[in-house]
Structure formats: structure tokens, C-alpha cells
């Protein structure tokens, strides 16, 4: 096979058709740019859906993984391994959480968080009818547990019945949360910044009221930071901006910067009163290779002052997107936090995203009418200017 068309035809014969893919076969990356197999260059404002925080072809990251490949890839969790111990220590330091369980994905991190919350409640009263409150328009993953707390009926309907005892409230509407609380509520779960649901950051007031309610009634606060965590909003985790610490949190995506890895973390109180030996497991989670990726990512975040860059470039991106919105009647508003932004249009955005791709710019949507901007966290103001120039042409 030599050309793009042949590769795509082959893929369509072999792969299960669960994605409507763009007609591009990507081959390599460098910095904030990707290249297809025909050598065409693309400015990447998607970062593999908020994954490639450090940009592509980072030499220190690559070398760390190559070194680990030559030492040890996998042992299982029957034994300790040094990279996982170091990764757990580093994660505790940057998150302020106390206990960590490494997974292979964000959806698995959500599954573990749900199990931990239910076990915590079970140990209090021995009953198994506890309820979890999640949010409308949320997205937590495609596995059955994660789908059960995803507040979008179209993702769930063909796969019913879901796991039971889930109630849905409105994000940023404390009264709707309160209306769903019963004496069976064991956890309240939401994304600190909703991603797929339309780039909605939690308000300070909402966070504070939900946290107070959780403390008052011994309900666990679970924050999903799979997309908005790992520096994307300007602090290592988005909740740190609010000063509202969850009882359990999930992370993935940029945690491994391309290596499939996730984690759920909890406070000591939850750790000592929830999952215990035999309650939860994973063959690959936290293996030496995945943990080496986490270690490299956290080290490079610090070494390259990634958070400083986010806090410098994000206001510039916001300003440029606001200017664009002011110029074009088809753009309704901008919203977001840090380098997780959305432009809301009064029409579907699919055509604009396709045109952008033709013009060498990779973007994604969040719902049919929102363009989502989740670039690598190492982008510069010049990259923002380049993106705006291409996007403006595509809107016009």
C-alpha cells in the first residue's frame, strides 16, 4: 500500500466501524505538528483529545520509555516495581491525595471510583442500595459503569439496563443536586470542567455548596479530571483552582502523554474504609512501562515549566477566540478554562472542522455546535495566531 486512499480502504475492511474517521492517515509528529503519510503538515489543536500535553517527539520522554523497554515492561501486581512506586509518590505530591490505584484508561478509573464509593457506603451500613448522583450532559466513558453515570441518554439507550441507583442533576445547579439527595446517596460525581458535554467549568459557588453538602452528610465527592486535569486549566488538577479537594478523583489522558494509563486517587479516610485485598484489580495497571511514562511526564512538566506556559498562553488564546467571536455572527460565545476552550456556534461545526483539516489545522467538536480547543500544553502565542488565521479563513 502506498497512498492514503488504499490505507483507508484497508482499514474500512478490517476495523469495526465505531468511528466516523477523518480521511487522513497520520504518520508522525514533531512539537505541536502532525504529518500524514503523504508528508502534509497539520497544526494540532486536539492533542489526541487532550492527551499529548508535552507535544510530539519529546526526546527526554521518548528516551525514558526506550530505557524502560530495555529493562522491564511488565510484571503484574503480584510484585512491586520501582517505576510504579516512584509514580505513586510523585502523583501524591502533585495532587495532594493519599492513595492511588493505576488503571489503563479513564473509563477504568471511573469504574474504580464507583466501586470505591459503593464499598465505602457498604462498610457503613451493610446495605447495597446506595445511590450516586451524576450530572446531565456529562461524559465519563464507554464501559458499562462509566456509561451508567454518563448524562447523555443517546449513549446509554441501546445498552440498557445500566448499573442501577444513578440519579442525574444539573451541572452548576445546586438545588437540582439537593433535590436528588436521599439517605441512600453515597457519592456525587462530576467533571470539574465538562468536556464532551460542551466545555462547562463548574462554578465556585456550585463547588463550595456541593462540598459542604458532602461533608455534612458523609457523601463522597468524586471529581472526574480525566480531560481537564494534568495542567490543562493552569493548575495540575482543575479542582486545585477552587481549593475544593475531592474524596476521590480520576485522571488519565495527559497522565501518560500517549501511553494508555489512568488512575483513581482518594483520601486516606476513603482508602482505609473502602477497597481492600481482592476487591479490585488489573493485569496491566501500573506496570513498569506505564509508570515510566507517568514519571517522565511529571518530571517534564516541572522541568519545562508547563503550568507557567499554560497560564501565559491561555489568556492569549481566550482573547483571540473572543475577538473571533465578536467578528462573526455565527459564533454565539466562548467558554472554558485554561487550554480547554470551546467556541459555541449557532449551527453545526462539522464543515468548519473538515475545512480546517484541509487547510492543515486539526480541531475537534464537543457536541454538534461547539469547536473544542485542547492543544498540547506547550503551544506558543505564535501557534495560537497560526490557528486563528486558518480558522478564520474556514469560517469565512
The Cα–Cα gap between 251 and 237 comes to 9
Confidence at residue 2, expressed as pLDDT on a 0 to 100 scale? 73
What is the number of domains present in the chain?
2
Same domain, 164 and 260: yes
Confidence at residue 23, expressed as pLDDT on a 0 to 100 scale? 94
Spell 309-339 as b/e; 16+ CB within 10 A means b. Answer: bbbebbeebbebbeebbeeeeebeebbbbbb
**For residue 222, which phi and psi values (nearest 5 degrees)?**
-110, 120
Beta strands in 261-339 (DSSP E): 262-266, 331-337
Same domain, 180 and 84: yes
Of 261, 281, 303, the position where a domain reaches its end is 303
267: domain CATH number is 3.40.640.10
Same domain, 115 and 165: yes
Same domain, 323 and 377: yes
Confidence at residue 1, expressed as pLDDT on a 0 to 100 scale? 61
Same domain, 79 and 221: yes
Confidence at residue 212, expressed as pLDDT on a 0 to 100 scale? 98
pLDDT 10s digits, 47-57: 999 999 999 99
Same domain, 113 and 248: yes
Of 251, 276, 303, the position where a domain reaches its end is 303
Could you tell me the residue range of the domain that residue 345 belongs to? 4-54+306-395
Q: Is 0.95 surpassed by the pTM of this model?
A: yes
28: domain CATH number is 3.90.1150.10
Residues 263, 101 contacting (CB under 8 angstroms): yes
Residues 394, 71 contacting (CB under 8 angstroms): no
Same domain, 292 and 167: yes
Q: Give the chain's residues under pLDDT 50.
A: none
Confidence at residue 362, expressed as pLDDT on a 0 to 100 scale? 98
Same domain, 259 and 365: no
Of 303, 328, 351, the position where a domain reaches its end is 303
Same domain, 360 and 271: no
Amino acid at each position: 500500500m502506498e497512498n492514503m486512499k488504499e490505507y483507508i480502504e484497508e482499514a474500512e475492511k478490517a476495523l469495526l466501524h465505531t468511528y466516523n474517521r477523518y480521511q487522513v492517515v497520520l504518520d508522525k509528529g514533531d512539537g505541536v505538528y502532525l504529518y500524514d503519510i503523504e508528508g502534509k503538515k497539520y497544526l494540532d489543536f486536539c492533542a489526541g483529545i487532550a492527551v499529548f500535553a508535552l507535544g510530539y517527539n519529546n526526546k527526554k520522554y521518548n528516551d525514558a520509555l526506550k530505557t524502560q523497554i530495555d529493562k522491564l515492561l511488565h510484571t503484574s501486581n503480584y510484585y512491586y516495581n520501582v517505576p510504579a512506586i516512584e509514580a505513586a509518590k510523585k502523583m501524591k505530591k502533585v495532587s495532594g491525595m493519599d492513595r492511588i490505584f493505576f488503571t489503563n484508561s479513564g473509563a477504568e478509573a471511573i469504574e474504580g471510583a464507583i466501586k470505591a464509593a459503593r464499598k465505602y457506603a457498604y462498610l457503613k451500613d451493610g446495605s447495597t442500595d446506595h445511590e450516586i448522583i451524576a450530572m446531565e450532559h456529562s461524559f465519563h466513558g464507554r464501559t458499562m459503569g462509566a456509561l451508567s453515570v454518563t448524562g447523555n441518554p443517546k449513549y446509554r439507550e441501546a445498552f440498557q439496563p445500566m448499573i442501577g441507583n444513578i440519579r442525574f442533576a444539573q451541572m452548576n445547579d445546586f438545588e437540582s443536586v439537593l433535590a436528588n439527595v436521599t439517605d441512600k446517596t453515597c457519592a456525587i460525581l462530576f467533571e470539574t470542567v465538562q468536556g464532551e458535554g460542551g466545555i462547562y467549568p463548574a462554578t465556585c459557588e456550585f463547588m463550595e455548596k456541593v462540598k459542604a453538602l458532602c461533608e455534612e452528610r458523609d457523601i463522597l465527592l468524586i471529581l472526574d479530571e480525566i480531560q481537564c486535569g494534568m495542567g490543562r486549566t493552569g493548575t495540575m488538577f482543575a479542582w486545585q483552582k477552587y481549593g475544593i479537594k475531592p474524596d476521590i478523583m480520576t485522571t488519565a489522558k495527559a497522565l501518560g502523554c500517549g501511553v494508555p494509563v489512568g488512575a483513581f486517587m482518594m483520601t486516606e479516610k476513603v482508602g482505609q474504609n473502602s477497597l481492600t485485598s481482592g476487591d479490585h484489580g488489573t493485569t496491566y495497571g501500573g506496570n513498569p512501562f506505564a509508570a515510566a511514562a507517568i514519571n517522565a511526564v511529571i518530571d517534564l512538566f516541572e522541568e519545562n515549566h508547563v503550568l507557567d506556559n499554560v497560564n501565559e498562553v491561555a489568556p492569549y488564546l481566550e482573547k483571540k477566540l473572543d475577538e473571533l467571536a465578536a467578528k462573526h455572527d455565527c459564533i454565539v460565545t466562548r467558554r472554558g478554562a485554561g487550554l480547554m476552550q470551546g467556541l459555541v456556534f449557532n449551527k453545526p461545526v462539522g464543515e468548519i472542522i473538515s475545512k480546517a483539516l484541509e487547510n492543515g489545522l486539526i480541531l475537534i467538536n464537543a457536541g454538534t455546535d461547539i469547536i473544542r480547543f485542547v492543544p498540547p500544553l506547550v503551544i506558543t502565542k505564535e501557534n495560537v495566531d497560526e490557528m486563528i488565521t486558518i480558522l478564520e479563513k474556514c469560517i469565512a
